Amino acid sequence: MSNQDPTGPRGNTPGPGPVLSPEEIRKLRLRSDRMIGIMLFIIGVFATVVNMANLTGDALAQQGALAFETYGLGEYHRPADLAAIGWVGVALHPLNYAIWLYVALKRWQNRKFAAWCAFVGAVIAIVISAAVMMTAFSMHPEIIDWIQHGAPMPAPTQTP
C-alpha cells in the first residue's frame, strides 16, 4: 500500500472544476452574446451591401426584364419612377443596419443581451427588400394583370 494518505473522497484524482457563481455565469454569457453579436453584425455589413446593390434602379430593371421574359409578358418597358423606388431601398438598408447596431451597442453598454438585435435587423432587411421589390413590380400593369388572372400552368409532360 501507499504511504500517502488520500486528501479527498477520491484520493488524488482531480475532481470537477470550480463552481461558478451566478454573477460569473452571467458575465460569461454576456461575453458570448457580445462575440456572437459582433460576428452577426459583421455578416450584416456584407448583407447590407448586397441588398443595396440588388435594389438599385438598374438591378430592379434587370429583374423586371427577366420576369417579363420568363413569364412571357411581352416587351419590357422601364417605369419612370423605378430609380426613385430603388433609392428608397438603398437608403433604408444602411439606416436599418445603423439603428439596430446602435440599439445593440447601447444594450451591451448597459450589460444586457443584444445579439438578438442582429436577427431583428436581418428580418426587417428582408421585409424592406420584399416591399421594394413588390412596389417595383406593381408599377407594371402586365405583372398585376398576370397575378390577378393567375399564372398559366405548364403543359404536363408525358412519361414513357
pLDDT in tens, 4-42: 555 666 666 666 777 888 899 999 999 999 999 999 999
Residue 125 lies in a domain: yes
Residue 7 lies in a domain: no
Q: What is the pTM of this model?
A: 0.77
Contacts made by residues 101-108, CB under 8 angstroms, sequence distance 24+: 101/41, 101/44, 104/37, 104/41, 108/30, 108/33, 108/34, 108/37
Residue 14 lies in a domain: no
Could you report the per-residue pLDDT of 62-102, keeping only the tens digit for each?
999 998 888 888 899 999 889 999 999 999 999 999 999 99
Q: Tell me, what's the pLDDT at 36?
A: 95
**Are 55 and 14 in contact, with CB atoms under 8 Å apart?**
no
Residue 118 lies in a domain: yes
Residue 11 lies in a domain: no
Domain tally for the chain? Answer: 1
Identify the domain containing residue 94 by its residue range: 23-141
Q: Tell me, what's the pLDDT at 156?
A: 62
Residue 16 lies in a domain: no
Q: Tell me, what's the pLDDT at 5?
A: 57
Helices (H), 21-81: 22-54, 57-71
Residue 55 lies in a domain: yes
